[in-house]
Homo-oligomer: A and B are copies of this chain.
């Protein structure tokens, strides 16, 4: 049960502990002969270095902390993938924690990450107050993903939601739609920019905006459509705040006997794996999630290496993915 230590390896290889340390870190100033002896001894004993002891002694860390607000959201899975691949390349490990969208739980998750003294911290769409973040930022580099911030010591990575929804509006307008409704994400992260993007794009085309309150879930999307039906004029196209909402809207439309895209076109947001399912085949706006993760990791590592102290604010360009839920209006499919 007890694992061998560096001391054990040193004894077995007939060298000093310091030499083993050099070999383990791949130092060039070790003779070939000793190196192989040490490596053999380590192999025989099944030795593997103790990351915590190393980090304590070297006063450095090769750990990046990641707080995911909600693991259930596939959006984060891809961001984490991006983070992971960059971190790994550069010899860093990820330790991940979840906050469950509750400020209290998130706070504890944050503390527990900090107690590991990671080299940096990536917070994915956190809900903790800014104050907690900026306090932590005094001690280590922090990058926020999918949440903006004005704290000058914090980097941010976001997609340009305004632009993204603008793309959706342009697409629908170019198909001939003029009556386009936005199902709003309410308090949800990034719902604001998306709404603003909708309103300003509509204005740009000289069209009247119509915003219906909704949320980031499929049931909310369905409910919003039911309200629209009750409330009179049905639009020819709907732009949802995200893919789940869009899928809910589609099923409510179909239940009401309205064809998609025959009678109503629907656009989502996020390009989750859900949208790509052939059964759904949703026209949606893609955020470069993997890229966002990569940029977040790079921002962190730049600060860790002391290459930069000014904050960066990445605002990535989303792109429109046209699938089967959009078509010209009235052109009963």
What 1/0 mask marks residues of chain A from 79 to 110 whose CB sits below 8 Å from any chain B CB?
01100100010000111111010000000100
Residues of B within 8 A of A46 (CB): 135
A72 is contacted by which of B100, B117, B251, B273 (Cβ under 8 Å)? B273
Residues of B within 8 A of A74 (CB): 72, 74
User: A277 an interface residue at 8 Å Cβ cutoff?
Assistant: yes
CA distance A158 to B115 in the complex (A): 33
Can you offer 27 A-B residue contacts whose CB atoms are under 8 A?
A1-B138, A1-B139, A3-B139, A48-B114, A48-B115, A50-B56, A50-B117, A52-B116, A53-B56, A56-B56, A71-B71, A71-B81, A72-B77, A72-B78, A81-B100, A94-B96, A95-B96, A95-B97, A96-B96, A96-B97, A218-B278, A244-B277, A248-B279, A250-B279, A251-B279, A252-B278, A279-B280
User: A208 an interface residue at 8 Å Cβ cutoff?
Assistant: no
Residues of B within 8 A of A278 (CB): 218-219, 222, 248, 251-252
Residues of B within 8 A of A50 (CB): 56, 115, 117
User: A154 an interface residue at 8 Å Cβ cutoff?
Assistant: no
Chain A interface helix/strand/loop/mixed: helix
> Is there an interface contact between B93 and A112, defined as CB atoms closer than 8 Å?
yes
Q: Which residue of B lies closest to A281 (CB)?
A: B251
User: A49 an interface residue at 8 Å Cβ cutoff?
Assistant: yes
A positions within 8 Å CB-CB of B: 1, 3, 46, 48-53, 55-56, 71-72, 74, 77-78, 80-81, 84, 88, 93-98, 100, 108, 111-112, 114-117, 135, 138-139, 218-219, 222, 244, 247-248, 250-252, 254, 273-274, 277-280
> Is there an interface contact between A98 and B80, defined as CB atoms closer than 8 Å?
yes
Copies of this polypeptide in the complex:
2
A115 is contacted by which of B49, B88, B251 (Cβ under 8 Å)? B49
Q: Which residue of B lies closest to A97 (CB)?
A: B94
Smallest beta-carbon distance A11→chain B, Å = 20
CA distance A98 to B72 in the complex (A): 15
Smallest beta-carbon distance A124→chain B, Å = 12
Residues of B within 8 A of A93 (CB): 97, 112
> Is there an interface contact between A117 and B52, defined as CB atoms closer than 8 Å?
yes
A95 is contacted by which of B95, B250, B280 (Cβ under 8 Å)? B95
CA distance A26 to B48 in the complex (A): 33
Smallest beta-carbon distance A31→chain B, Å = 27
> Is there an interface contact between B71 and A77, defined as CB atoms closer than 8 Å?
yes
Knowing that A81-B100, A222-B278, A244-B277 are A-B contacts, what are 8 other residue pairs whose CB atoms are under 8 Å apart, sorted by A's residue number? A52-B56, A71-B77, A74-B74, A95-B95, A95-B97, A250-B279, A252-B278, A274-B274
CA distance A52 to B50 in the complex (A): 11
CA distance A80 to B77 in the complex (A): 13
Q: Which residue of B lies closest to A113 (CB)?
A: B93
A51 is contacted by which of B97, B100, B115, B244 (Cβ under 8 Å)? B115
Residues of B within 8 A of A116 (CB): 51-52
